[in-house]
Structure 1
């Protein structure tokens, strides 16, 4: 299950994200669990208590602490979470990548572009969670995902990998 947290000070944006994630979950039969936060302080408190997210959707411009500062603090607890900034201002785009942002999406959020972004970030999460081997062979370097490996055999000096 993919854990998705989203944080925005505007309740209408939180509702919109709930609807978009619900539509995405239905159309793609995705196993996702969304959690909404109205302030970065709520999100940070949840993470400090042990909540773990695969993907975070953060607004940049929020009262108190902005999304970039919140992401900087989140990185102290989790360096692997995919952070996507959703904002109406392109002003912080470059600064967002200093905290390892996965993407910077300008509002308004259109369903087609949001679904493509979710496809991309969920695929990245699943690639990282799969266990694999990287092997050097005659043709170069290859990655073998262990969940697709049926068995191995050695014939003379050759290793044969049989995959599903």
Structure 2
């Protein structure tokens, strides 16, 4: 059973997040349980009592033991759960990587973001991230190592895969591609998905990926900045 915890001092926000998570978990068909905590102290007490938590959605701004302090204490006690920070203030996000935060979600909650982050967290736990990306072509099936793929580019119904030493094309949708990728791949534009292991610089409207300059749209700029910071700290 997958055990999910939500720690937030605001009851309505806990309920909203719980409802969104429950909808997504029902779609996976997995057994799950969701617990709620209204402060860092009650969460820490539950963990001290050997309560197993797999995924924790942790509010940063709370009275008493705030989310960052709580996360540090959890890590110091040896807790290995995936921590996903929730906050109304994106400036706090960069502090999360010193406690190995997996991701962050901004308030108010968006269903698409909940779905994306939860899916990646489940992948991380299950250890089922695919080692190869399968490409169906007329000549047969290609198995491309994930760690050799620099980025995906969409051109109408055609997807271009650029690897470290070659490129390939197939028909498809970038949204469908994204659903099959591990967490190191980041959407930076409606037409581009990049492997963060190959991103060496983030600029105001572009990024360098395997020495190529790729566009970054405003909608994905913040997520890219956080993902890049995470890669630098790991």
Q: Residues 30-58 of structure 1, C-alpha deviation per residue, up to 9 Å, x if partnerless? A: 22211100011000000011101111100
**Structure 2 length as normaliser, TM-score?**
0.53
Q: After TM superposition, give the deviation of residue 79 of structure 1 in Å.
A: 4.4
1:123 aligns with 2:126: no
Contact 1:83 1:103 in 2 (8 A): yes
- Root-mean-square deviation (CA), in Å? 1.3
1:23-42 maps to which residues of 2 (within 5 A)?
23-42=23-42
1:68 paired residue number: 68
Q: Residues 114-138 of structure 1, C-alpha deviation per residue, up to 9 Å, x if partnerless? A: 011111100100008xxxxxxxxxx
1:107 paired residue number: 107
1:46-61 maps to which residues of 2 (within 5 A)?
46-61=46-61
2:212 paired residue number: none
* Distance in structure 1 (CA, Å) of the matches to 2:118 and 2:18: 13
1:135 paired residue number: none
**Structure 1 length as normaliser, TM-score?**
0.74
* Distance in structure 1 (CA, Å) of the matches to 2:105 and 2:113: 9
Name the count of aligned residue pairs: 128
Q: After TM superposition, give the deviation of residue 28 of structure 1 in Å.
A: 2.0
Contact 2:7 2:37 in 1 (8 A): yes
Q: Residues 48-74 of structure 1, C-alpha deviation per residue, up to 9 Å, x if partnerless? A: 111011111000000111100000000
Structure 2 unpaired stretches of 5+: 129-234
Q: SS at the partner of 2:13?
A: helix
Q: Residues 64-115 of structure 1, C-alpha deviation per residue, up to 9 Å, x if partnerless? A: 1110000000012334211000010112111111111000211111111101
2:199 paired residue number: none
Residue range with higher mean Cα deviation, 95-104 or 18-27: 18-27
Q: After TM superposition, give the deviation of residue 21 of structure 1 in Å.
A: 1.7
Which has the higher relative contact order, 1 or 2, with Cα contacts under 8 A spaced 6 or more apart? 1
Structure 1 unpaired stretches of 5+: 129-164
* Distance in structure 2 (CA, Å) of the matches to 1:31 and 1:48: 24
1:22 paired residue number: 22
1:12 paired residue number: 12
